[in-house]
Chain A
Amino acid sequence: MSLNIEIRFDEKENIWVFLPEGEIDIYTSPKVKEEILNCFNSKQTDILIDGERLKYIDSTGLGALISILKKLKEADNKIYLSNIKPNIRKIFDITELDKLFIIRGEEDE
């Protein structure tokens, strides 16, 4: 039951990069949403969520991502996901959220 988010700003690509490590669940989702939106509000650019170290996400985590997506859309910015593990990709598939988010490294980018 833990989650850490490594945050950096990629000056070259002008994009926020978030590397969540652990589980985005009912306990940690509010923190994820807050941290990501805080960064976005301080500098409004596209954002990338790197899923390399993300082990699990539940529906509250998906809800957090959806509200981040809405916020970014208002400002005409995009949210990218990359390195999503197959077990998490499956959840995006079931919920059809793979159509809403841009998943990097796949043909639909």
Chain B
Amino acid sequence: MNKDIINLKVPRKPDYISLVRLTTSGIAYSMGLNVDEIDDIKVSIGEACINSLMLNNEDELSLEFEIEEEKLCIRVTGVKEDIPEDLDERKERELGLLIIKSLMDEVIFNKYGIEMIKYIEVEDQ
């Protein structure tokens, strides 16, 4: 089974999140996903990046795209499911996680961050 990996590292700055969204849209488009699916992925990756950026102090945002025939798996480091109680933007961050969980087919949190999967529906011939 073919599996291609694309790695992306960007400085941990808000300025670069739109670049990540654009790159992600490009990858999803090249995989043949439809406009709505591309948008779901773009919105989710944006939220994952914001979460990582706000809840971490790492210098870089690190992303991995694992491309398979039937799915796209995106990993973003530093994304946390547990939002600190004392965070001013706690409500906002919770909305971000809610959006990701609603738009992606599978969402897994681990010690590195988040893993988000979108399955590609193969059209009946």
A interface list, Cβ under 8 A from B: 1, 23, 25-27, 56, 58-60, 62-63, 66, 87, 91, 94-95
Which chain A residues border B47 with CB–CB below 8 Å? 58-59
Given contacts A25-B14, A58-B46, A59-B96, 8 further A-B contacts (CB under 8 A): A1-B19, A23-B18, A56-B46, A58-B43, A60-B89, A87-B39, A91-B43, A94-B99
Task: Tell me if A59 and B17 are in contact (CB < 8 A).
Answer: no
Q: Closest approach, in angstroms, between the C-beta of B31 and any C-beta of chain A?
A: 19
Q: How far is the CA of A68 from the CA of B17 in the complex (A)?
A: 24
Q: How far is the CA of A58 from the CA of B39 in the complex (A)?
A: 12
Q: Which B2-19 residues have C-beta < 8 A from chain A?
A: 14-15, 17-19
Q: Closest approach, in angstroms, between the C-beta of A94 and any C-beta of chain B?
A: 4
Q: How far is the CA of A42 from the CA of B102 in the complex (A)?
A: 39
Give the interface size class of chain B: 20 to 34
The answer to whether residues A63 and B95 also contact, given A26-B53, A94-B102, A94-B103 and a CB cut-off of 8 A, is yes
Task: Tell me if A1 and B43 are in contact (CB < 8 A).
Answer: no
Overall SS of chain B's interface: helix
The answer to whether residues A27 and B17 also contact, given A59-B47, A87-B39 and a CB cut-off of 8 A, is yes
Task: Tell me if A25 and B46 are in contact (CB < 8 A).
Answer: yes
Which chain A residues border B75 with CB–CB below 8 Å? none
Q: How far is the CA of A94 from the CA of B39 in the complex (A)?
A: 14
Of all chain B residues, which has the CB nearest A23?
B18
Task: Tell me if A27 and B99 are in contact (CB < 8 A).
Answer: no
Which chain B residues border A95 with CB–CB below 8 Å? 95, 98-99
Q: How far is the CA of A94 from the CA of B15 in the complex (A)?
A: 26
Of all chain B residues, which has the CB nearest A97?
B95
Which chain B residues border A1 with CB–CB below 8 Å? 15, 18-19
The proximity string for B residues 38-57 relative to A, scoring 1 for CB distances below 8 Å and 0 otherwise, is: 01001100110010010000
